Each structure stands twice: as C-alpha cells, then as structure tokens.
Amino acid sequence: MSIVPHIVGVLVLLVGVLVSVGLHELGHMIPAKKFGVRVSQYMVGFGPTLWSRTKGETEYGIKAIPLGGFVRLVGMMPPAPEGTKRKKGFWNELVADARDASVAEVRPGEEHRAFYNLSTPKKLVVMFGGPFMNLVIATFLMAIILIGYGLPAVSTTVAQLSDCVPASATSSATGDDCEGQPAAPAAAAGLQPGDEVVSFGGTEVTGWQQLVGLINASAGRESDVVVLRDGERVTLEVTPAETERPVVDEQGAAVLAADGTPVTEPGGFVGFSPLQVREPQPLSRVLPEVGNMTWQTATMVATLPVRVAEAATQAFTAEERSQDSVQSMVGVARISGEIMALDEAILDRVMIYLSLLASLNIALFVFNLIPLLPLDGGHLVNALYEGGKRTVARVRGAAVLPGPADVARMTPVAYVVFLILLGVGGVLIVADLVDPVRIT
C-alpha cells in the first residue's frame, strides 16, 4: 500500500489546523487592537521561530511546532498593589516572576494600553473572540457540507433487484438461498434498476419510509405501482409477498437487536433495494447541527478523565479500541491519512475532511472555554470576577472601585493545568500509536 496518500492526508490536515489556529488567534488580536491594547506578537505554532516579520508594533510569525499558537497581549497581569512585599517560597516566587514579566512589557507612558486596564466587557470580547472564531469556522464548514453536499438519504429509486422471496429474514434473496423459493414480486412485475417509484396502490409516494409502510399494508394483495422510467410514467402490477421483514432505520439500514440479529416484523416483500442518495439540507438545519455537535463535544470534555482512562485501558489490554474513543492529534492525523487513502470519490473525501475539521474546531471552541488558566475560559472567569467585584462596589456606593483582578495569583493553577494537559496528551499519543482508532 502506498504511503503517499497518507502523507498527503496528514499535510492537508496540518494546513487546516494551522488555518484554524491562525484564525483563533485573530479572534483575540483584532478586538484587542481595536480596544487599544498593544499586541507585540502574533504566532502560529510553538518553539523556534521559522519565519517572522514585524509590521507596525506587532511581530507576525510561524514557529516550528504546529500544535497551537498565541498572541502576546501586553499587560495581561497588573502590577502588585503598592507596598506589597515579595514573599519567599517556590509558588510565591513563580507568581512574582510572572507578574514582573508582564509589567516589564508595558512601555513607560503606555499603561493605558495594557490589557489589565480594559473594562470587563472589553476583556470578555477579547478572550471570547478566539473560541468564537472556531465556532464560526465550524458553522461555515457545516453549512458547506449540509447545504452544498447534503446528508445520506434513501430514495425511492430502484438500485438493485432481488432474485426471490427469502426463506427468512436472515437469509439472502440471491444465489443458493433462492433454491426452491418463489421469484421476487418486483422482478416478476417488471421493475428495473433506475425506476423511480412515484405511486403505490394509488397513493403518491413521497419517501422511502412511506413506501415501506404502503408495501407492508399491501402484503398478499395485488397493487398498482407507478414508476418513472426514462421520463415517462409506467404502471405495473405487483403483489407483495407476506413475510417477516427486517425493520430498517431512516437510512435504510437494518435495526439490530441486542444480540446482533436483525429485528423483524410481519410485512410485505417486493424485492428491491433503494438507491442511496445525498439530500441537500436547508440553511435552518445548520445551527441545530452545530449545536448538537457542540453538546456532544462538551459531554466528552466533561467526562474526559474517564474517557482517557478507557482509551489507555483499551490500548494496553485485549479490549478493542472503540470508534468514539478520545484521540490525540497523532490519532487524528492518522485518521486523516486513512481518509485520503479511501477508495471514494474525491468530493466524498473532501467532505469527510471538512467534517473532521469542523469537529476539531468545535473541540477547540469547547476546550478553550474550560474555566481554568491558561485556557481562554480561565481569563473569562477572571474578567467576570473582576466585573462582579466592581458591580458590588457600585451598588454599595464605594468612592473607589476595585482595581484589576490579580490574575498573577492564578499562575500556579495555570502551571498545574498545563502539566495535566501535557500528561493527558502523552497518554493519548501512546494509545494512538499502540492501538489507533481506524476508519477502515
């Protein structure tokens, strides 16, 4: 098997991720500059700088490790209150160093341009701008998929004819299973692949599920079936056979019981399989679909410790890795390579890529809203806390409102969260290398 499609798939994903990260950071930078905050750096990636260019007061660049990005907003942490003495101890030194580094970025006379001097609403706009940009990207991609490409659906067009009436719901209607069985009613009636069923038993047909209901209700009785063939309406006579037939879902797939056997019910059998098509969706379908994806991702993030433990257990035991297992970027990259290697039409593969990229942007949106530093959600919580204190002070009629929240005090939390995320990422990377999730 050629490795080239896999490499191309990974590179395509990499470009998509970098664009998403770059737009995320723009979501922070644009409002920050609009509000007067000095932005000293805009970088896509981490580690050594591969390329950079300074325009105005901002250095724009690309770094070597394409696993994120950042914008450096000057003055993220306010200076210590006047008269505060530097305390000893590892964590206290960590807080003081972080505060000093932030204050040192503020040029003399530009204190008014520091991030910490923004009002609470402006801080919320700046910090929410990044995740919101990911939500916009996901919504745009889902609009392309749903409106331009559509969702899988079952038509009323004949795709393939059965040879006979099956002896049971679990036997096939072709080959050796047809020995001694009567011919399928559809073939006997003269239906052909490509015929579109437009009427059955005098009722206009509007969809597959309705047609199945009409066939079941007509079991054992001769009925008129009108098909559209080469642009002309052709009327045929068909008598659905009485049989136990599998229950199918809206996509035409058999519904299975807990033991894996098909669920059956008494009904009629005509003997043709429907053509699978894609139906473009209305614009009104986009936001509900994005909302559903966001909810599912939020549920996964809320149960992340359990899911990481399950992924590790499945990777290092005989238990099979589940298809919905949480993955690292290594696992996602592997999936991307498999998509490119699929034996599918190029448009189908492009849409699968767009769906994957939409899911990643939803994940970035939800994950960044976790209310802990160094994530955007942590800064949002700090801004809300600061705004809450000022509101209470106003209500109480305080002459002087509280200053900016001392974000530096949360530096230890940011370090602990960073180490936890690093550990989780390491576990998932190993799991994806040892026992990856596969789509083929």
250 within 8 A of 224, measured Cβ to Cβ: no
Residue appearing with tokens 């659906």 = 153
CA nearest 197: which of 185, 186, 205?
205
Three-class DSSP category at 158: strand
Catalytic residue among 25, 289, 310, 386: 25
Instruction: Report residue 211 as tokens.
Output: 């047609």
How many CB atoms are closer than 10 A to CB 152?
Answer: 12
Q: Is 320 a catalytic residue?
A: no
> What angle in degrees, to the nearest 10, is found between the helix axes of 120-143 and 346-368?
160
> Taking the mean position of all CA atoms in its chain, how far away is CA 374?
23
Q: Is the dihedral of CA 62, 65, 66, 71 positive or negative?
A: negative
d(CA 294, CA 137): 13
Q: Which ranges of 281-410 does DSSP label H, i.e. alpha helix?
A: 286-302, 304-316, 329-341, 346-368, 376-395
Looking up tokens 């098509």 gives: 277
Q: Which residue has the tokens 């499945």?
A: 314
In this structure, which long-range contacts are made by residues 311-318, counting pairs with CB atoms below 8 Å and at least 24 apart in sequence? Answer: 311/427, 311/428, 311/431, 312/427, 312/431, 314/431, 314/435, 315/430, 315/431, 315/432, 315/434, 315/435, 316/431, 316/434, 316/435
Calculate the dihedral angle through the C-alpha atoms of 366, 369, 372, 373, rounding to the nearest 10 degrees: 110
Q: How far apart are CA 227 and CA 267, in angstroms?
A: 22
Max Cα distance, the chain (Å):
98
Residues 134 and 131: their CA atoms lie apart, in Å, by 5
Cα dist. 410→7, 74, 96, 404 in Å? 41, 18, 11, 14
Q: Give me the active site residues, please.
A: 25
